[in-house]
Structure formats: C-alpha cells, structure tokens
Amino acid sequence: MSLKITNLWERLNKRFKFSIGLKSILTNLGLFTILFTVIGFVLVFAFSRLLIAGASLTLEDHERVIRSMVSKAEIDQIDSYSANTNITVLLVESEPVKTTGISSDINRMKITNKFNVDLNGKGAVITISKSLEQEWEIVRSIIFVLICVFIIMGIFILIISGWTIKTMLRPIQEMVKYIRTGSLNVRLDIKTSHDELRDLAETFNELMDKIWDTYRQQDRFVSDASHELRTPLLVIQGYADLLERWGGEDIAIRQEAISSIKKEASYINKLVERLLLLAKSGQQMMEVRTIHLPELIEEVIRDSVVMNTGHTFIFEKKQEVLADGDFALIKQVIRIVLDNSIKYTPSSGTISFNCEVEGKYALISIQDNGIGISKEDLPNIFERFYKADKSRSRVSGSTGLGLSIAQYIVQMHGGLISAHSEGLEKGSKVLIRLPLKRMVTS
C-alpha cells in the first residue's frame, strides 16, 4: 500500500514539475483561494461587528425601558420584561460604580450593559446581559454560504482555466506531436490563433520550412552527387574490363583505356574537392585582408594565358579598386567564371575583364563571345549540378558545381554574383559585386 502511495506521489510530483497546464491551473486556484479568503474574512468581520453593534443598540433600548420602570417604581415588572425579551437583568443595591457601559465577551458569547440608577434614594447597579448565540448563528450561516460559493466558484475556475490553458497550449502540443513523428512537411494551423502563441506557431512553421528546404536540398545534393559519381565510375569499370580482356594484346586499346581512366579519375577528384567545399558551407574560415582587385585579375589572366593560348584576354579598365576579403577564395571565384568562359567560347574567341567602383561595391565583369546561355537555363545556372547541355558538359569535364561554389564564396563575402546573356550564340557576361574596402576614419 505504501509503495502505491509513493509511486502515485512520484507521478504527481513529476507531472507538477513538467506540466505547464497543471501549474497554471494550480496557480489560478491558489490566487483565487487567497483572494476569496481575504474577502471572506473581511465580510465575516464586518457582519460580526454589525451584529454586535445591533445587539449594543438593543441593550441601550432595554436600558431606557428599565430606567423608566425604576423611575416609576415598577421594579416588580423587570423580571417579566427580561423573560419576554430574552435578556438577563441583575439589580444590585450598592454605591454607584465608575465602570459602566456596554461590553462584549466573545468567549462567553454574551454582551452586557452596566449602568447606575437611583432606587428609593439609594444607589443601585443594574447589569443587563444578552446572549450572542443568535448573532453567531447568523455569522456561521454566512461562513457556510461563503464556503459553498468558494467551492462552486473554485470548480468553475478549474473548468474555465483547464479549457483556456488547453486551448492555449494546443499549438505547443501539436508542435511536440509533429516533432515526435518526424513529419517535416506538416505545419501548425495559425488561422484561429491571435495571441502570443501565434508568434510561436509562426516561428515554428518558419523553422520547419527552413528544415524542410535544407532536407530537400541535402536529399537532392546526395542524389545528384551519387548520379554524378556513378557515371565516371561506370566508365572506369568499363575500361578496366576492357583492359582485362584486350589490354595485353592491343596497345591502342590499352592507351585509350588508360587515358580515359585518368580523365575520369581527374573528373572524380575535381568533383569530390568541390563537394567537400560545398559541404563546409557555413564553416569556411576566411583570411580577410585588403585585395587589390586589378592585380588579382591580372594574376588570373597570366595563369590562364600559360595554360591556354587559343583565346584572347582583354583587361579594359584598370581602376584602383580595393576590397576586403579572402585573396585565395576571390581568386577561385574569378577562376571558376573564367574556366566556364574558356570552356564555352571557341578557341579564337575573346574574353574581356573589367573592374570598377559601383556605389558601395567593387564590380568585376567577365564577358565572352561564346555560345551564350538560353533564357530557359539562365535562372538555373547557379544551382548545384545544373548543366545546360549535359552531353557537352561531360566532354568538357564540367561538374556543374563551379558556379554554385562561386556564388557561395561571393555571398560569404557579403557580395552578389549574377549572369547575363542575350541568348544562344550571343555570349555571356558574369558580374561579381564585392563590398569595397572599409576606410577607417579617426
């Protein structure tokens, strides 16, 4: 039996610790109890004083009647008068006393009135006593009514508080239910709520939207990465099988297989490097310093000229433009954009660079006269693994991640990157906006 009581107490104690609804209901009931107790005490005290005051007035009336009887020498009528009015009259012949008046004895439940009279030329003291039992019966009735009212109102408050708190906490309960089920595509209904919990529900829905978007992006990222890795691995496996069957006898087949395997391995290496970079989104640490953008662009052009002699590179405006950022990352952005221009511009084509100040940004533009970008593909080129022409991308070794990485790096610097093209065979232009160097003023 004691074990059951202990377990019940532990469950109640645990529920009280963690149940907001129970705490709120008990708090409301406690406040009501305190308030009602104070009001009840004041009412009982006031009624008690009022009843005692009424009894005092009654004794004063009896005093006047008895004084009249004494003055008319009608002493023998006092006994019958006291019997009819439920009072006790005590007449004692003595010298006048100083302590006269009305006094109450709560413990003995009576009120008395003592006064001096002249009885046949001699002094006398008359004491009138009246029981307060009737008055206290009225007080007890009032207390009983107050207790009944307290119980009824307490039950009413419990019901109203329970219903109100349950309604208020419904969004939180639904939130907990959705979190436990792992449903990422379910949202809380906020149409019927117009209080502070509506803000909580809206915040929860926004958080779930972000989690859902992140989940979908991650799911698509894993799916796309698996798809991109599957193709080169299948190619490598195919050429490995070819080597196993014919590589020992046919030198041409062996060289073709080795060349293709190296090419696909290089593609996988590049893809994995860029996947790792994207996986570190939000964790990349930047070494910020002042960058002289024209010098950086010239350095990228020099590197490209060494590796590529077919294209013409033009750096038109060479203004003194400084920006704060990570030198290596900004260089990588320019290289990514330039690599795309080289891949999709004929070997005799021209790639032009420009660097200038535009408002609060340093503007870098890279323009080519290559194959351009269609209007359908233009809004999507910064998405991961997006390729406008998948067959041509495979031939060129494109992973579809370069511009996504460039966008991530630029946004990490607080900048903007955008692409523009009039259509196919009309070239393209990429604009990179980076915050200018902040000048420190004393």
Residue 378 domain-assigned (yes or no):
yes
Q: What is the CA radius of gyration of the chain?
A: 49
Task: Supply the pLDDT for residue 3.
Answer: 60
> Domain holding 400: CATH number?
3.30.565.10
pLDDT tens-place values along the chain, 442 residues long: 566 666 666 665 655 555 666 777 778 888 888 988 898 888 888 888 888 888 888 888 888 888 888 777 777 788 888 888 888 888 777 777 667 777 777 677 788 888 888 777 777 888 888 888 888 888 888 889 988 988 898 888 888 888 887 777 776 777 677 767 766 666 766 666 666 667 777 787 788 788 887 777 777 667 766 766 776 787 788 878 877 777 667 777 778 878 878 877 887 777 777 667 666 655 556 788 899 999 999 988 887 876 666 888 999 767 789 999 988 889 889 988 998 888 888 888 999 999 999 999 999 999 999 888 888 888 888 887 676 654 444 445 566 677 888 888 898 899 999 999 988 888 899 999 999 986 544 3
Domain finish residue from 263, 280, 297 = 280
- Tell me what pLDDT residue 154 has: 85
- Domain limits for position 355: 285-435
8 Å CB contact between 186 and 164: no
End-to-end CA distance of the chain: 80
Cβ contact 245:254 at 8 Å? no
Looking at the structure, do residues 357 and 430 belong to the same domain, yes or no? yes
Q: For the chain, what is the domain count?
A: 3
Q: Is residue 90 part of a domain?
A: yes
Domain identity same for 305 and 421: yes
CB neighbour list of residue 190: distance below 8 Å, 6 or more residues apart: 171, 198, 201, 202, 205
Q: Are 351 and 312 in contact (CB under 8 A)?
A: yes
d(CA 91, CA 99) in angstroms, rounded, equals: 15
State which of 235, 251, 280 marks the end of a domain: 280
Instruction: For residue 169, tell me if it sits in a domain.
Output: no
What's the predicted TM-score (pTM) here? 0.47
- Residues 65, 113 within the same domain: yes
Residue 214: CATH number of its domain: 1.10.287.130
The verdict on 224 and 334 lying in the same domain is no
> Are both 276 and 311 inside the same structural domain?
no
- Domain end among 155, 170, 204: 155
